[in-house]
Structure 1
Amino acid sequence: MTGTFTISLDFELLWGIFDKVGTRYHPEYFSNTRKVIPEMLDLYGKMGISVTWATVGMLFADNEEEWKSYSPEFLPSYRDKKLSAYAWAKAYGLRPEVHFAPELIHQILQTPGQDLGSHTYAHYYTLMRGQSPEQFRQDLQATQKIAREKFGVSLKSLVFPRNHINELYLGICLEEGYEFVRGNPKNWFWQETQHESFSKKLFRSADCFFPLGSRSSYAEHEIKEFTGEPLILPASRILRPLSKGNRLFNHIRLSRILAEMEYAAKNGEVYHLWWHPHNFGHDPKQSMLELKKLLFHFLTLQEKYGMESLSMEELGKRVKNRLIPA
């Protein structure tokens, strides 16, 4: 079996960090993000790279009126109100440059090999107190509705915001059309991400440079299908943002990813890399140069070992086909 290279991106703009930064964000950061995404798409299209864009549903809207029209009837009732995208919008208002991006979604759909997925409608936290299964269901329905009515697509791939995977909600995901869900890496410091600790953060950061856990890639047969649930496709590694001015940091971090990709290619395993497009906002030029290095390395592995580029949906469908008894 040949190795597989899968990329999934958490496309969210300000919706992904509003509860952390409030109004203290730099507009240039997201302006850079909006400019670099078409560059990324052009690169993926030319190089034949399949990518899943797990997109916050609110970005599909053109304006505040449309955003409201697709919002669910039952909004998430978090105990901690600052986690609610709706409460934030009511308090601070909406700005098109950081809250809406339908033109970028059109570009994603027009680029060969791209898989438009969901990051929930409102960057929904399924493990936070106060919210309910029915509120989550309506959030998923809102995203499917706006995707279907505005863009003519049904979304199959889902990424839980902040990697908060509520296993009790997996059945709801499948019922609402999501057949494939990105799982967390299997190491202990990636589990129960809603309960953060200094040790987890330390190990996650250090593991980007030195092997502290088990191998990051995995064989396809390790992916299991359970009745009534979507297929969980574990992540392998997050591509952390560049550190400006720290060439050694950046070199070691990228070298580790390239070595892991090569191991997966040689051993016929899956290597699932993910990041946020806005991670390129601080230094788009150098970030794109690094992405090109990474993708050219994939092309070398493709030529040498037959490694394939598959989106989450493509990988999931292949796994499902192999799970069906002959």
Structure 2
Amino acid sequence: MNKGIFCISIDLELLWGRKDLNYKPFIPKVDKVRKVVKQLLVIFSKNNIPVTWAVVGKLFTSPTNPSNRNRLWYGKDIIRAIQNTPNQEIACHSFSHPEFTTLTREMAEKEIANSVKVAKMNGIILKSFIFPRNKVAHGNILKKYGFTSFRGMDKRPWELLFPGTPSVYEPKREYGVLNIPGSMYFVSARGIRKYIPTNLRYLKVILGINKAIKEHKVFHLWLHPVDLANNTKSLLNEIEKIILFANKKRVQEKLDIKTMSEISDLLLK
């Protein structure tokens, strides 16, 4: 790579992300996801920022009995909004969001195959894969279904809590596809995390982007839209400041901003 790269990936799950847990407390938060996604897309579109959106395959499907409750589980309208925004990549976050470490190979392959099928029915070819809860397993299935990259585990999953600069990476081939590990999770402001100082996330990301520029490596930021359901205005403000900083560095030709599939296209050619 002749310059640093900034990559953003977003895990879009609605309630599927909590289906095996007590999801009831999450209902009010998930109910805000559509509004959060709309606001994120405005920021990305205004600044011409390419982003990878990893979508749970079930969101493509339609409920047999439409209701307000089903809005928490199905999201074809959200996917369409992402598709209608320039430079956004739709990626795969499995079909129903099971932890792949708990699955047999046959079960994992079914999850992947169903995702590829439902995406193709909606005119989307999936190239990037993000494992549910970022727990990597059965990665050797990915290439068979046309994937060229996946998001590997962060070196420090709760990077924000550690002093110093986040990790940056030179992505490596693994399972025949490109492993683009996470550098930093943009944590929510719910629970005890509401005490995280304002702008700490922003400042940490800036350190990571500057390190990527200096070392010609990838800084990979990731989040869930539901992470912005608490203290939404402040967190969106931090994200917009991050985008403005990254865009400034791109204009100065010090940084590229790419989706996961664009990174794999660049490095696997």
Normalised to the residue count of structure 1, the TM-score between the two structures is: 0.76
- Cα deviation code 1:6-35 (max 9, x no counterpart): 00011101110122223x225431222111
Q: 1:142 aligns with which of 98, 107, 114?
A: 114
Q: Which residue of 1 aligns with 2:240?
A: 292
After superposition, the CA RMSD in angstroms is 2.4
Q: 1:125 aligns with which of 86, 91, 99?
A: 99
Q: Which residue of 2 aligns with 1:303?
A: 251
Q: Which residue of 2 aligns with 1:235?
A: 182
Q: Which residue of 2 aligns with 1:69?
A: none
Contact persistence 2:202–2:241 (CA under 8 A): no
Write the mapping of 1:136-285 to structure 2, written as runs, cut at 5 A. 136-149=108-121, 151-166=122-137, 169-187=138-156, 190=157, 204=158, 207-211=159-163, 216-218=167-169, 220=170, 223-226=171-174, 229-242=176-189, 249-285=197-233
Q: Quick one: distance in 2 between partners of 1:247 and 1:297? A: 25
Q: Quick one: distance in 2 between partners of 1:40 and 1:294? A: 12
Shift of 1:250: 2.9
Higher helix residue share: 1
Contact persistence 2:172–2:180 (CA under 8 A): no
Which has the higher mean CA deviation after the structures are superposed, 238-247 or 136-145? 238-247
- Cα deviation code 1:299-319 (max 9, x no counterpart): 222233521110000011101
Match of 1:165, SS? coil
Match of 2:116, SS? helix
The aligned length equals 267
User: Which runs of 5 or more residues in structure 1 are unaligned?
Assistant: 67-92, 191-203, 322-326
Match of 2:52, SS? strand
Amino acid at match of 1:139: E
User: Which runs of 5 or more residues in structure 2 are unaligned?
Assistant: none
- Cα deviation code 1:151-196 (max 9, x no counterpart): 1111111000111111xx1221111222211101235xx5xxxxxx
Q: Please tell me whether residue 15 in structure 1 is matched to residue 16 in structure 2.
A: yes
Q: Quick one: distance in 1 between partners of 2:65 and 2:112? A: 19
Q: Which residue of 2 aligns with 1:74?
A: none
Amino acid at match of 2:146: G
Identity between Structure 1 and Structure 2 (%): 27
Max radius of gyration: which structure?
1
Normalised to the residue count of structure 2, the TM-score between the two structures is: 0.91
Contact persistence 1:185–1:235 (CA under 8 A): yes
- Cα deviation code 1:250-279 (max 9, x no counterpart): 333321221221221233221000011111
Match of 2:222, SS? strand
Q: Quick one: distance in 1 between partners of 2:142 and 2:176? A: 8
Contact persistence 1:243–1:249 (CA under 8 A): no
Q: Quick one: distance in 1 between partners of 2:190 and 2:16? A: 23
